[in-house]
Amino acid sequence: IPRDEYEEAEERAVKEVNATGKPYVIILNCVYPNTDSAKKLAEELSEKYQVPVIPLNCIDMDESEIKEIIKTLLYMFPVNEVRFNMPKWVLSLDNSHTLKSSLVNLIRDNMYINKVKEINNMLNSVSQNEYIEEVRINEQDLGSGTADVKVILKPDLFYKVRGERIGLDIKTESALYDY
């Protein structure tokens, strides 16, 4: 069937599905899904409709492709909660402390995400902070839209903050024992 014969019906179907507010993906059923033309059309449709488009031959589809569809769909679900786990010593700092306020503001400023698929981009943005060594997802439940994120701070920060609190210049663990 020539594409122009069903393009109008496709647009109408996408509008109807969008109206439900439910997450979805588009399956682009093709005889040869791995061709450049199929991949290009999938990319164009994805850009046009702002949803993932997966080119597949539905007749020859296997279990791994079904799993990929489900995984892609789950990433379209809304984010319900992202929990950031930081070292306990950071949480004990006064809210006005430069380090704590910087981290809290950073997280708050980057939490404008709606879909599970956006979590990684948000974490990449958060990880650019001068105090952060690494940010990684410890656990993620795609079905419930939750993620548990571990924030690893640069190693020298603990000693710097500890030194500020006691009025000494501490740069390493061994320096703690020098005083």
pLDDT of residue 174: 60
Between the CA of residue 117 and those of 102, 120, 121, 131, 145, what are the distances in Å? Answer: 25, 7, 8, 25, 10
% of the chain exceeding 90 in pLDDT: 79
Q: Which residue has the higher pLDDT, 12 or 166?
A: 12
For the entire predicted model, the pTM comes to 0.72
Give the pLDDT score at 153.
95
Instruction: State pLDDT tens for residues 105-143.
Output: 999 999 899 999 999 999 999 999 999 999 999 999 988
pLDDT of residue 162: 74
Q: What is the pLDDT of residues 55-71, one digit of tens each?
A: 999 999 999 999 999 99
Quote the CA–CA distance of 6 and 27 in Å, as a whole number. Answer: 14
Distance CA 145, CA 116 (A): 6
Higher pLDDT, residue 176 or 79 = 79
Taken as a whole, the chain contains a residue count of 179
Three state DSSP letters for 103-147? HHHHHHHCCCCCEHHHHHHHHHHHCCCCCEEEEEEEEEECCCCEE
pLDDT at position 102 is 93
The pair of three-digit structure tokens given for residue 7, joined into one six-digit string: 């393009």
Per-residue pLDDT tens over the stretch 16-51: 999 998 999 999 999 999 999 999 999 999 999 999
- Of 175, 174, 170, 176, nearest to 157 (Cα)? 170
The owner of tokens 């981290």 is 103
